[in-house]
């Protein structure tokens, strides 16, 4: 029976349902499975022809005990969660221009047009399923750099068991992203635009972490989180690496590199997880923008918080990639004492130094780059200019720029799958900056046009008062709900 422990080692093992509903572990660590399940090459071969949803069922079954979610229910949850995806293959793989080595995997065909939809629908439907059985409810508080908020708001809208409080740094996400959250006519979705966030989404992460650090408050307000600190997110994201590998490689064992635009490191940790399970991925390219905490860690062994730069790829403007703790846990022999010392030191000084052996361990199968805004724009322009134009969003462009920068390192027949994590229509100003004001049809999406025609419903608040204001607003919502339901 698979169980979950904390990277800080301070809790007894729990089942999947507790790990998902609690979000953060009670000792301040992140939930991880006690052991990572392995898949044999024979079994991988058998999985390689499955559709995305059938594959998701097989992979997720390895992490979820059927005593917690029976197989039939799990299948249903997966079907429901991906029913709203626009593309028949859910995550299509496409060639990129004239370079036969490069492909893009489009992760943005979900209801809010970013890769966050992939895991969020399943996570929130699963929470709802578990809460219905427990006759209980939760308030989800989450920080967003622009895509997590819409995905969570959309998935939670109308759910009887959940309230959803997406917090976003006002003026640092696009208008389209804001409207995806504020145009939902759902009484249980409460977007909060927060002013004066010098570190953007990271400032909001800290507020969420402080709320969670108060156990009495957490219990009283039934708080949980669906940021990628939630195990369920990274678990579901591991599936697209299997799917991408099987679609890109005719034969199991063929070399394959994934280039991933990285912020909080949830998507890349999921790739690492897939490889630990036995998928023969040659290497990951960790593609940062100018916020290069991860690139610095991989290239020097120094994991260090820097000041935030606002870039054109705003969803990955992140200075503390918190899933890196999970990665450090598994790449340094799962030692919770070491992790605890590191996390505490990082909290105090904003920095940890890995020794030579530890640095070597994290570099195994990873390389990294930091892509400037100028390179992002140039990559966008170039890939749309050729004979087979392809319109990237700024984040997909970071992945492609990373692949172009490092492809000379690989054997000639190595394919590189670049993850396209958002639809270009979410970033019209940047599209115009790259391509001029006359944008092609691919740069629009009807759902965003629709959202712009609806009155926006939001709260606003200054970062300075956010914590107390949020508690008050949650208490008022709870009181109003009680009144409605008698
Ligand atoms: C969240 C996000 C990323 C980064 O994923 P992480 O798991 O945070 O590393 C990349 N691109 C887009 C468009 C995103 O929304």
What CA–CA distance (Å, rounded) separates 459 from 465?
13
Strand partners, 415: 256
Find the 145 Cα to ligand 1 centroid distance in Å.
9
Nearest to 314 by CA among 147, 143, 460: 147
pLDDT in tens, the chain (486 residues): 899 999 999 999 999 999 999 998 989 899 999 999 999 999 999 999 999 999 999 999 999 999 999 999 999 999 999 999 999 999 999 999 878 899 999 999 999 999 999 999 999 999 999 999 999 999 999 999 999 999 999 999 999 999 999 999 999 999 999 999 999 989 999 999 999 999 999 999 999 989 988 889 999 999 998 988 899 999 999 999 999 999 999 999 999 999 999 999 999 999 999 999 999 999 999 999 999 999 999 999 999 999 999 999 999 999 999 999 999 999 989 999 999 999 999 999 999 999 999 999 999 999 999 999 999 999 999 999 978 899 999 999 999 999 999 999 999 889 999 999 999 999 999 999 999 999 999 999 999 999 999 999 999 999 999 999 999 999 999 999 888 876
Whether 394 lines ligand 1, by a CB cut-off of 6 Å, is no
Whether 116 lines ligand 1, by a CB cut-off of 6 Å, is yes
Q: What is the pTM of this model?
A: 0.97
Predicted pLDDT at 486: 65
Residue having the nearest C-alpha atom to atom 11 of ligand 1: 421
What CA–CA distance (Å, rounded) separates 19 from 230?
8
DSSP state of 470: H
Query: Could you tell me the CA-to-CA distances from 421 to 259, 294, 317, 442 in Å, in that order?
Result: 11, 18, 14, 15
Predicted pLDDT at 129: 98
Whether 238 lines ligand 1, by a CB cut-off of 6 Å, is no
How many other CB atoms are there within 10 angstroms of residue 40's CB atom?
9
Q: Which three-class secondary structure string do you get for 330-358?
A: HHCCCCHHHHHHHHHHHHHHCEEECCHHH
What CA–CA distance (Å, rounded) separates 262 from 269?
10
Strand partners, 366: 284
Yes or no: say if 76 and 122 are a contact pair by the CB < 8 Å rule.
Answer: no
Query: Could you tell me the CA-to-CA distances from 4 to 234, 367, 411 in Å, in that order?
Result: 14, 29, 39
């Amino acid at each position: 029976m698979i169980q979950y422990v904390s990277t800080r080692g301070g809790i007894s093992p729990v089942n999947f349902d507790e790990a998902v509903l609690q979000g953060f572990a009670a000792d301040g660590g992140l939930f991880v499975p006690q052991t990572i399940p392995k898949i044999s090459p024979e079994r991988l071969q058998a999985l390689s022809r499955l559709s995305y949803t059938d594959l998701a069922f097989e992979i997720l079954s390895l992490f979820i005990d059927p005593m917690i979610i029976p197989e039939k229910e799990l299948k249903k949850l997966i079907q429901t969660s991906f029913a709203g995806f626009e593309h028949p293959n859910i995550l299509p793989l496409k060639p990129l221009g004239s370079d036969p080595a490069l492909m893009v995997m489009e992760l943005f065909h979900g209801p809010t047009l970013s890769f966050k939809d992939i895991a969020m629908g399943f996570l929130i439907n699963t929470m709802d399923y578990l809460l219905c059985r427990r006759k209980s409810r939760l308030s989800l508080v989450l920080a967003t750099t622009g895509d997590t908020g819409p995905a969570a708001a959309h998935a939670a809208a109308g759910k009887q068991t959940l309230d959803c409080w997406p917090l976003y740094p006002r003026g640092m996400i696009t208008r389209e992203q804001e409207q995806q959250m504020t145009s939902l006519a759902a009484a249980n979705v409460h977007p909060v635009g927060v002013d004066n966030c010098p570190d953007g989404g990271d400032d909001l992460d800290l507020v969420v972490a402080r709320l969670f650090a108060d156990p009495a408050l957490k219990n009283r307000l039934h708080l949980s989180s669906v940021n990628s600190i939630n195990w369920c997110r990274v678990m579901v994201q591991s599936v697209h690496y299997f799917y991408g590998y099987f679609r890109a490689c005719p034969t199991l064992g063929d070399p394959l590199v994934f280039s991933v635009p990285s912020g909080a490191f949830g998507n890349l940790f999921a790739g690492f997880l897939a490889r630990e399970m036995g998928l023969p991925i040659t290497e990951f390219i960790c593609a940062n923008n100018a916020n290069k905490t991860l690139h610095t860690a991989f290239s020097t062994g120094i994991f260090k918080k820097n000041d935030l730069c606002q870039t054109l790829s705003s969803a990955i403007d992140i200075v503390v990639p918190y899933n890196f703790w999970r990665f450090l846990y598994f790449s340094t022999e799962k030692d919770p004492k070491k992790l605890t010392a590191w996390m505490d030191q990082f909290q105090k000084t904003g920095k940890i130094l890995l020794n030579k052996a530890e640095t070597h361990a994290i570099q195994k199968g990873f390389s990294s780059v930091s892509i400037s805004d100028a390179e992002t724009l140039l990559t966008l322009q170039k890939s749309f200019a050729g004979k087979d134009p392809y319109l990237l969003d700024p984040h997909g462009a970071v992945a492609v720029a990373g692949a172009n920068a490092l492809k000379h390192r690989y054997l000639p027949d190595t394919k590189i799958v670049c993850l396209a994590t958002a639809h270009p229509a979410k970033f019209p100003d940047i599209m115009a900056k790259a391509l001029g004001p006359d944008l092609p049809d691919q740069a629009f999406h009807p759902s965003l046009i629709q959202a712009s025609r609806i009155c926006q419903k939001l709260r606003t608040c200054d970062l300075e008062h956010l914590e107390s204001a949020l508690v008050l607003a949650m208490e008022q919502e709870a009181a109003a709900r009680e009144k409605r339901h008698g």
